[in-house]
Structure 1
Amino acid sequence: MTDITVIGAGIAGLVCAQQLTQVGYSVKIIDKSRGVGGRVATRRLFETKADHGACYLKPKGEFSQRLVTLLSQKGDLEVWTDTLHVQENSSSLTANLQSSLPYTAPEGMNVIAKFLAQGLQINRGERVKKIDLNFQNQWHLTSQTNQEFTASSLVVAIPAPQAVMILESFAQNLLDNNFLEKLRGVEYYPAITVMAGYTESSAQPEWKAITFTQNSVLGWIGLDSSKRKNPTQPHFVIHSSADFAHKNFESEDLEQVGREILHNAASGVNLPWLNNPQWMQVHRWRYAFPKTPLQQTCLPAETSLPLVCCGDWCGGNLIESAILSGIAAAEHINCKLQQRELPGINFFDAL
């Protein structure tokens, strides 16, 4: 048995686990994916990498600024551009000079999660299917591969709708209605993301990224190859609008959906050759962006054993929000256990 089990190896779960591990608690993370980071995701493909989740990091507070400083000193992050573009309707591009500069990672944005995961015990590829209390008054978790985990405290650091599915089905009798109502009230925007690569001779656009504010199909396009060291060919990452993703999310022909996104991007940014990629991959994000985040940094439950939910859907929808939520969840668990002095922002220094 461990002191604390954390479900989810996204930013909030990793930060929470670091806070508690660094003061001597035994912590185990369980995550359904093969990697870490959640939506801070990088995919290796066709001899390059593409950030198909979080595209860049803007330091919006003390914690994300500290993270950017440390990773920049290590050479893992660097300033991407001082100008990001916006397109409203079909109007021309507006260049927005950035007061807070966006940072990207030449080796992929997932380096942020890998940095935060150092030294942690993580069970990957394990989707939790059941949570209950055993006869020893411990949290008892069972995964889809029938692995069993026990702990005295539980942190659920996954998107709120996923937390609802787990907790409603198997632990509803242990939870109060107010807790469940708050959890159910968190909704997400979906997105469909296209990653596409082109020939070396393709003309490069002058812009690095465009946000579409009123486009029925497109949400964002970025020249992802501009983040890489010595890229061999241009490649783009394109996020759909939430409305388009909602309408097409369950499509059986995901490649055709991706080609529709590419077609709209080609006409929307006046680059006809975007219609003819050398390679293309499409990814669904069911929980892309919190639509109705809670106005609190974590969501504790009134249970006999400590249980708290956290994520970027607590207090906002950015990496800074996820960090703050992970710290708040750790503080709640620590208060219920041995009330040790947590490192707070100083936990970065031990990594």
Structure 2
Amino acid sequence: MSTLCIVGAGAAGAGAAYALRNTDIDVTVLEKSRGVCGRAATRRKHGCRYDHGANYVKDPDDRTTDLLYDLGEDGLFDVTEPVWTFDEAGRITEGDGRDDHKFDWTEGMTQLAKRLFARTDAEVKNGTRVASIDREGDRWALTDTEGDGYGPFDALLLTPPAPPDRRAARRHALGRRPTPPSSARPSVRSPTGRSGRTSCTTPSRSTDRGTGWSTRTASTTSAGSPARSASRGTSPTASRC
């Protein structure tokens, strides 16, 4: 049986695990927070339940709509009124109603990932923040901030936003190729203004003093994950009291 480690239990990670549910791949998910669904977060306060991240799922095609109903219609509802938005200055703007359907759950948007994971055999390890990633031969090993190790795994899927991925990947060597000339090494600027790469594998002596390695830009997608394309990360907050 092949093994896969997914870093991040958001919509992308849940969608990937769901897409692999009928395969012989053993899936382990490492998630830094106590819950799932990432930026589609649900909170409770003063008797109200509210989504303060992505707050509904659109229906770009019949495949997405069919998936939502297949995950269970209990608690699923369609927001028929426009969703009002507010910006960082607190200005409130009436929603334009451009989306035909806006699906949510009475228990909050985290139901998306919870229901996807519930239909898989994936093992989700919450409260596990990945600190480093190592390449051991042709397999992957990970270490969390407490020093606990995971793996090795046959394959690795990184789903968190780019900055956290870059910090983890930059700590250890992710390849074994000869050092190219400095003129051939691609360089990008990180949000903090420092040179950095998000994922593997270009050897260099300019990034990590301990290993002598830096990392190379690579994009990560969640193939076969209808949930990733469906989730909308907008700024408004929907509440249910």
TM-score by length of 2: 0.66
Query: Residue deviations 1:318-349, cap 9 Å, x none?
Result: 941679xxxxxxxxxxxxxxxxxxxxxxxxxx
Which of residues 112, 119, 122 is equivalent to 1:120?
Answer: 122
Between the aligned partners of 1:86 and 1:113, the Cα distance in structure 2 is 24
The reply to whether residue 310 of structure 1 matches residue 220 of structure 2 is yes
State the identity as a percent.
Answer: 25
**Contact 2:58-2:231 within 8 A present in 1 as well:** no
Q: 1:138 to 1:65 in 2, by over 3 A?
A: same
1:70-90 deviation line (CA, Å, top 9, x unaligned): 35x522320122334578999
Matching residue of 2:23 = 23
Deviation at 1:138, TM superposition (A): 2.4
Q: 2:26 is matched by which residue type in structure 1? A: S
Query: CA-atom RMSD, angstroms?
Result: 4.0
- Determine which of 172, 179, 182 is the counterpart of 1:170: 172
Deviation, 1:10, is: 0.9
Instruction: Tell me the residue number matched to 2:236.
Output: none
8 Å CA contact 1:36, 1:117 repeated in 2 = no
Residue type of the alignment partner of 1:160: A
Q: Is the 8 A contact 1:82 1:98 kept in 2?
A: no
Higher relative contact order (CA 8 A, sep 6+): 2
1-structure distance, mates of 2:92, 2:127: 45
Deviation at 1:141, TM superposition (A): 0.8
- Structure 1 segments unaligned to the other structure (5+ residues): 188-298, 324-351
Q: Aligned pair 1:52/2:52, yes or no? A: yes
Greater helix fraction, Structure 1 or Structure 2 = 1
| Structure 1 counterpart SS, 2:41 | coil
- 2:163 aligned residue (161, 179, 183): 161
- Deviation string 1:161-218 (CA, Å, 9 cap, x unpaired) is 11111112213555899xx969x6797xxxxxxxxxxxxxxxxxxxxxxxxxxxxxxx
1:25-56 deviation per Cα after TM superposition (whole angstroms, max 9, x unaligned): 11111111111110111123334322121112
- Contact 1:131/1:167 (8 A) holds in 2: yes
SS in 1 for 2:96: strand
Shift of 1:132: 0.9
Task: Name the CA distance, whole Å, in 1 between partners of 2:59 and 2:186.
Answer: 32
Asked whether the equivalents of residues 42 and 49 of structure 1 are also in contact (C-alpha less than 8 Å), the reply is yes
State which drifts further: 91-100 or 73-82.
91-100
Distance 1:74 1:168, change over 3 A: same
Distance 1:302 1:8 in 2: 21
Larger Rg: 1
User: Which aligned pairs between 1:235-246 and structure 2 lie closer than 5 A?
Assistant: none
1: CA distance, partners of 2:60 / 2:92 = 28
Q: Which amino acid aligns with 1:27?
A: V
Aligned residue for 1:26, secondary structure, equals strand
- Please state if 1:80 is matched with 2:79: yes
Asked if the contact 2:57/2:231 (under 8 Å) is kept, the reply is: no
**Counterpart residue type for residue 106 of structure 1:** T
Against the structure 1 CA distance between its residues 95 and 25, is the aligned structure 2 distance closer, same or farther, given a 3 Å change threshold? closer
Match of 2:229 in 1: 320
- Asked whether 1:6 is paired with 2:34, we answer no
Gaps of 5+ in 2: 192-197, 203-217, 233-241
CA distance 1:5–1:95, shift in 2 (3 Å): closer
1:130 CA drift (Å): 1.2
Paired positions, count: 199
